[in-house]
Amino acid sequence: MQVAMKIWRYDAATGERALREYEIDAPEEATLLDCLDIVKDKVDGTLAYRKSCRMMICGSCGMRMDGAAVLACKTRMFDVAKEGRVPVISAMGNLPIVRDLVVDMDPFWEKFKAMKPYLQPGYDRPEDGREYRITQERMNAVKKEALCINCGCCVSECNAMESDPEFLGPQALAKGFRFVGDPRDAATVERLEQYSGEHGIWECTRCFFCNERCPKGVDPRDAIAKLGAEAIRTGIDRDMGAKHAKWFVRSTETTGWLRETELVPKTQGVVSSIKQMKFALNLIKHNKAGLAFPPHVAANVDEARRLRRLVLAQGRLGSAGHIQGERALAKLEHGHHDGGDPYGPGSFPKPYLPEDTE
Amino acid sequence: MIAEHDVLVVGAGCAGMRAAIEAFDAGADVAMISKLHPTRSHSGAAEGGINAALGNAKEDSPETHAFDTVKGSDYLGDQDSIEIFTREAPADIIQLENWGAFFSRQPDGRLAQRPFGAAGSPRTIYAADITGHVLIQVLWEQVCKRDIKVYEEFFAWQLVVDDGRCQGVICWDLLDGGLKTVGGKTTVLATGGAGRQYRVTTNAYACTGDGMAMALHVGVPLKDMEFMQFHPTTLYPTGILLTEGCRGEGAYLLNKDGERFMKRYAPNALELASRDVVSRSEQTEIDQGRGINGSVMLDMRHLGAERIIERLPGSRELAMTFAGVDPIYEPVPVRPGAHYHMGGVATDSDGATELTGLYAAGETACVSVHGANRLGGNSLMETITFGRRAGRAAAEWALSHTTIDVPEAVERDAERRLRALLDRTSGERPWKIREELGNSMLENFAVFRREEQMERQLEIIRELRERYRNVYVEDKGDVFNSDLTQAIELGNMLDTAWCMVQAGLARKESRGAHARPHDYPGRDDVNFLKHSITRWDGEAPELSYSEVRMTKWEPEERKY
């Protein structure tokens, strides 16, 4: 098939940037990575990009196609070529470009290392000198986080990091939850304290781009939400973000709706609220903030309260309560269709052992 | 020389990181050199598991593990090393778990173990089907904890030998350019395999035999180079690995009629015979016209959606992404593909090579625990156990010696050779040579080997090496010049392939992965129960032989 693509080239020595178009002939099963290889081999040997495993496990080939982060090895080009589209290939975002599609991963790894990314068990090893005994079910709390291959696709797309480059970011925080959620780790409180600080958990803007773009189904935003919930459960709630979240719960539990007028003082404190008086008066003037006292109570507030009681009864405070955005990677990514008959008409013959035919 | 360390580890996959951690814990100043970031290493692509006789699933012992390994090796493995290996493996696994490895569990909370090919007991500890990934992560975490220095994206090119010992490594700095020499009192090679010599391979682009070639070029012997394992289940058409764990979980191999043909080749073990046996059976089916598009089918339908999604999610994702087939509903087309190099740099059971100060571990090395055929799950274990032993030995030697000397002449000479390559203004681009090597190795030196094909392959390699002398690097820049490193890698592949074919031609028998059904169909213990040893005489590889170390197992006929 004929594949055309435009690649953002960048020369570190001169600082020159240029969008170049390439047209190549590639086999139908070719991935974006295969196409880049063909360009490098046969058209322009100076094209720079990282690669290694070509089976979406090493995490080398994160880059952007039409502005969205992908693993080049996972991206089949057949549909793009068939539609005659000419995708634009560029380096990942939020990381300095070294050359062409190669980014400097140092800032990425610095944040990773800042998480104390290793198990800190309470004691050196179990007394009997054997493995820790833990059920699969408990380990599964960090199953998705353990899938992370550190490719950087989530970091590339992170909107919060774009405004605060020091934000720990989705991959580091997902790694953090990998240990907070691990029943063997004994440094939970220290970790939550640290991750709740400036540039931490509460800086995430919940745009969900990381979940959307993660090629492995790690769902980093879910990990951040779980860290937040665990922090609050542990009583680590000094951060405005934590207070904000807590007020949401309190407000819906008492009146069944969100009382925004009280949200600012509860989250930011009295002094900060006074400073924002002018803004608040403006909101009132335009009928955007309720001043009713006593506050309006929703008709079916009981439903919200029942929900709350259910969460408490099931012990689903903290990360255990987070099923939001949960998806079985294999199901959603590839369109798992239930109910088909693997042995139905037109299917591959049923297996048999040789003597069955005799 | 930009820096000096007690211990240098070249390569940062499982063996390299385990060696570095051990050397660090032994008190040495250790640094790793790797052309990839450590977590990008190909150990991470290992899927099915890692073998140790924990006896969690069923009664087991290091003794049984050792016997299975000896038999699997077609009696070419060194039995003293194998005994050390199986004895020390369980404690190494427990340590990995204690470090935080995310292994799968059985209902009582202990580590789960699954059956693997040619194993007498369910012995393979696993993490769903991403075991290598989990190991790479836990080792990287431990490296971070110790803050071990990594020369990342440094391409190791040449070993510095002075005063009869290895004293450092000359590298090309991929990120900033330029040759940089790092001195080390000892050096551990852990650069992995060379599967990229073949067009159909499970190996990453990075697996180009760099460590083997570096050792070879300074006169250190390679061992058993003719033995390249072909994995029975690599995805058609890309060669991407589908784990043996699929068959461990119960998957069938079918020919085009749906027949479980393994019954005819290995009536007892069926799909779980050793890899060489299964690959030969598949190839026979394909050659005799009972395949589909040069493949057979791996059938998991009867396992059911739940088990596939829980135990084999990665394999399913790979099959869907790269073959467009959902194994819940359809069998997956697979064929044998180059997978693992049993041979490598000859070492003793402490990873020491013939050259003082030089050690090797993992796939780069040949200890030899795998002999003529490796059992699934033994290679990850080898990286850990022998990575640790090599790291310990390298640290101990380094801590008892003080000086490092890298003569300027050596650096100047390297610079001159590099310039000669970079300054060439015309010539042949590497890709065509690489493609021809990959195609011809697959055709002439794969599952079944014929005398005349191997002779032809020697000719082809000689011709390709001739053309390689005129190879042209188009990129002249300093920053991330992968055009240069890929050209150097091609040279490494050509030289190691030469050693392999030469040793294969000389081994006039069938043993393990080296099968010659047309002229020497049987194993010949009288003449060939011995290791091949390949040395570089400056111009060409030279072949000799060494004894197999036996302890208690006499060679027997191998049946599954």
Residue A354 to residue B475, Cβ atoms within 8 A: no
Please give the ipTM for the structure prediction. Answer: 0.96
Determine which one of B123, B275, B280, B311 is catalytic. Answer: B275
Closest residue on chain A to B299 (Cα)? A351
Q: Does residue A284 form part of some domain?
A: no
Contacts with B421 from chain A: Cβ below 8 Å: none
CA distance A54 to chain B (A): 7
Closest CB to A99 among B40, B313, B479: B479
Distance CA A241, CA A228 (A): 9
**For residue A338, what are the contacts with CB-CB under 8 A and spacing of at least 6?**
B305
Residue B326 to residue A102, Cβ atoms within 8 A: no
Whether residues A149 and A222 fall in one domain: yes
Distance CA B32, CA B5 (A): 10
Distance CA A341, CA A321 (A): 35
Distance CA B107, CA B126 (A): 14
Contacts with B42 from chain A: Cβ below 8 Å: 52-53, 58
Q: Say which amino acid occupies A79.
A: D
Query: Which string of b and e fits A140-155 if b means at least 16 CB within 10 Å?
Result: ebbbbbbbbbbbbbbb
Residue A102 to residue B480, Cβ atoms within 8 A: yes
Domain harbouring A25, CATH code: 3.10.20.30
Which single residue is written with the structure tokens 């660090």?
A: B24
Residue A342 to residue B317, Cβ atoms within 8 A: no
Whether residues A141 and A237 fall in one domain: yes
Residue B401: count other Cβ atoms within 10 Å of its Cβ: 13
Backbone phi, then psi, for A18, in 5-degree steps?
A: -150, 140
Residue B37 to residue A12, Cβ atoms within 8 A: no
Q: Does residue A161 form part of some domain?
A: yes
Q: Does residue A356 form part of some domain?
A: no
Distance CA B193, CA B211 (A): 8
What kind of architecture, by CATH, is found in domain B235-336?
Alpha-Beta Complex (3.90)
CA distance B131 to chain A (A): 11
What kind of architecture, by CATH, is found in domain B408-547?
Up-down Bundle (1.20)
Closest CB to B301 among A45, A134, A343: A343
Whether residues A305 and A156 fall in one domain: yes
CA distance B457 to chain A (A): 24
Q: How many CB pairs under 8 A join A and B?
A: 210
Is the CB of residue A176 less than 8 Å from the CB of residue A115?
yes
DSSP string across B24-65: HHTT--EEEEESS-GGGSGGGG--S-EE----SSS---HHHH
Distance CA B439, CA B437 (A): 6
| Residue ranges of chain B assigned to CATH 3.90.700.10 | 235-336
Residue A52 to residue B130, Cβ atoms within 8 A: no
Closest residue on chain A to B142 (Cα)? A118
Calculate the CA B348 to chain-centre distance: 17
pLDDT beneath 70, residues of chain B:
none
Which pLDDT value is given to residue A325? Answer: 47
Residue B110 to residue A54, Cβ atoms within 8 A: no
Closest CB to A351 among B102, B260, B322: B260
Percent helix, strand, coil in chain B (nearest 5)? 40, 20, 40
Among B195, B229, B198, B199, residue whose Cα is nearest residue B212: B195
Alpha helices (H) along B301-377: 305-311, 313-323
Contacts with A218 from chain B: Cβ below 8 Å: none
Whether residues A212 and A69 fall in one domain: no
Q: Say which amino acid occupies B285.
A: E
Q: Does residue A276 form part of some domain?
A: no
Contacts with A130 from chain B: Cβ below 8 Å: 94, 110
Measure Cα distances from B467 to A132, B428, B464 in Å: 57, 7, 5
Contacts with A72 from chain B: Cβ below 8 Å: none
Which pLDDT value is given to residue A291? Answer: 72
Distance CA B93, CA B96 (A): 5
Whether residues A62 and A142 fall in one domain: no
Q: Which two tokens stand for residue B194?
A: 């060379």
Stated pTM of the model:
0.95
Measure Cα distances from B61 to A51, B64, B91 in Å: 41, 5, 13
Give pairs for A290-295: CB < 8 Å, separation 24+: A290/A259, A290/A260, A290/A261, A291/A261, A295/A255, A295/A259
Closest CB to A135 among B39, B105, B326: B105
Whether residues A233 and A327 fall in one domain: yes
pLDDT beneath 50, residues of chain A:
324-335, 357-358
Distance CA B46, CA B203 (A): 10
Residue B18 a catalytic site member: no
Domain harbouring A223, CATH code: 1.10.1060.10
Contacts with A136 from chain B: Cβ below 8 Å: 104-105, 107, 112
Query: What domain range is A31 assigned to?
Result: 2-103
Closest CB to A52 among B36, B252, B431: B36
Whether residues A113 and A191 fall in one domain: yes
Measure Cα distances from B32 to B18, B36, B151, B229, B322 in Å: 11, 11, 6, 28, 33
Closest residue on chain B to A38 (Cα)? B431
DSSP B370: S
Which single residue is written with the structure tokens 């479980």?
A: B260
Residue A53 to residue B94, Cβ atoms within 8 A: no
Closest CB to B429 among A45, A125, A149: A45
Whether residues A118 and A229 fall in one domain: yes
Is the CB of residue A95 less than 8 Å from the CB of residue A107?
yes
CA distance A144 to chain B (A): 11
Q: Does residue A288 form part of some domain?
A: no
Distance CA B379, CA B173 (A): 30
Which pLDDT value is given to residue A336? Answer: 54
Which single residue is written with the structure tokens 């690599």?
A: B234
State whether the Cα torsion B131-B133-B135-B138 is positive or negative: negative
Whether residues A97 and A172 fall in one domain: no
SS3 A142: helix
Contacts with B112 from chain A: Cβ below 8 Å: 136
Contacts with A57 from chain B: Cβ below 8 Å: 44-45, 130, 132-133, 314
| Residue ranges of chain B assigned to CATH 1.20.58.100 | 408-547
Closest CB to A351 among B98, B133, B252: B252
Residue B264 to residue A48, Cβ atoms within 8 A: no
CA distance B439 to chain A (A): 16
Closest residue on chain B to A142 (Cα)? B102
Q: Say which amino acid occupies A31.
A: T
Contacts with B299 from chain A: Cβ below 8 Å: 348, 351
Residue A131 to residue B42, Cβ atoms within 8 A: no
Distance CA A172, CA A214 (A): 13
Domain count, chain A: 2
Whether residues A95 and A29 fall in one domain: yes
Residue A59 to residue B39, Cβ atoms within 8 A: yes
Whether residues A30 and A90 fall in one domain: yes
Interface probe, candidates B99, B105, B111, B175, chain A, greatest A C-beta count within 10 A = B105
Whether omega for the bond prior to residue A294 falls within 30 degrees of 0, making it cis, is yes
Residue A308: count other Cβ atoms within 10 Å of its Cβ: 15
Whether residues A250 and A314 fall in one domain: yes
Residue A29 to residue B302, Cβ atoms within 8 A: no
